[in-house]
Amino acid sequence: MAQNPALAADHRVRLLQGAQELFPALVEAMDAALSDIQFETYIFDFTGSGASVAEALERAARRGVRTQLVVDGVGTGALPDGWARRFASAGVQVRVYSPLGPLGLLLPQRWRRLHRKLCVVDGCVLFCGGINVLDDLHDPNHGALAAPRFDFAVRATGSLVALASDTMDQLWWRMQALRDMRERRLPEALQALRAASAARHAADEVAQQGPAMRAALLLRDNVRHRSRIEKAYRRAIGGARHEVIIANAYFMPGGKLRRALLLAARRGVRVRLLLQGRYEYFMQYHAARPVYGALLAAGVEIHEYAPSFLHAKVAVVDALGERPWATVGSSNLDPLSLLLAREANVVVEDAAFAADLRERLVQAMQQAGRRMEPARYAGRPLGQRVLDQVAYALMRLALWVTGKRY
């Protein structure tokens, strides 16, 4: 069973855990940049180590590197005044994806967010994963954390970098065109749309090159790649022979993905899930729990991570077998990611990479996870079960409002 037809064999991919490993690698690449930096993130927070990334962007722009930053209108919003002035003075170009406006999230179309975390430097190196520009020991809503956030990213070189760069170019020029049209600068808007179309064509050509072997960049959008990431997960789980390990922050899989996990467990594959054990957001925390019952009954192991917030969106399948498969990215296994948001995951078929990721996940489950026993799940207090069902119903209602099936 082929794992993914887009895989190509010309890549070098390195796993990075947490901002403590990602940020120094990002800063090193930005400080060596010669021509351009493209950066997209959901959250850009300047507290603590997040400032080191901002300072690297500022330094690059001051020495003449074309520096483009896109942040999400919900995750980040407008930049702090001081940093906005510093970026403008240095020449860092900043765009805000889908600003909320006066009605905020009351408009369902505003639920489509830029959730991917991508950075391309000089068209040669890509950083992709689930890690925002956010200090490991700081949370905007909860303050200081006692332990670092659990999350991953990758540093990659190879043909997938061009696809990421062209995709980011396409979004940048579309946003530029929208801004020009709002300001009634129609000639500039048409020029920006032509640039976006050219970027899309280039991305299509890159995506079709190379044999199906080692690594690929999977993108999810609301036009042409609506289910690409979910299908990759289902394909890998469906082909699993020995083991599936998934770490996911906001876990509410749809029917097809749930069935893939259940079937894997029933045919003897050891399926382990490392999920959020600390309360972060009402909807994501409680809406996940009603799906636990069937999984536990089929023999799926569920481990809840408690020392800090689990923010990872990674998986590894048959890491010690003949066909190892792993993915690291921004996509949660919930309807917000799989149906609405722009997401990006890197898929890798490499024994050493898969074994490295597996070791870190197993260590987290053994040392920092609390296994959910079926009896403990069934014995949840009535109040918690009510909240779980309310959150689940609200999530289903939100999907109905968007017209999506999941």
Could you list the active site residues?
A: 115, 117, 122, 311, 313, 318
Q: Which of 387, 350, 367 is nearest to 10 (CA)?
A: 350
DSSP state of 216: E
Cβ(151)–Cβ(18) below 8 Å: yes
Closest CA to 365 of 251, 193, 245: 245
Question: What are the angstrom distances between the C-alpha of 115 and each of 72, 120, 242, 257, 393?
Answer: 7, 16, 32, 21, 24
Task: Give yes or no for a contact between 310 and 280, defined as CB atoms under 8 angstroms apart.
Answer: no
Q: Which residues contact 349 (CB under 8 A, 6 or more apart)?
A: 3, 4, 7, 213, 214, 215, 323, 324, 325, 326
Residues with Cβ within 8 Å of residue 97, at least 6 apart in sequence: 70, 71, 72, 73, 113, 114, 171, 175
- Grouping H, G, I as helix, E, B as strand and the rest as coil, residue 113 is coil
Report whether 339 contacts 326 (CB < 8 A).
Answer: no
Tokens of 52: 């080191």
Sheet holding 301-305, edge to edge: 215-220, 343-348, 325-329, 313-317, 243-248, 270-276, 301-305, 369-371
Of 230, 250, 244, 229, nearest in space to 311 by CA: 250
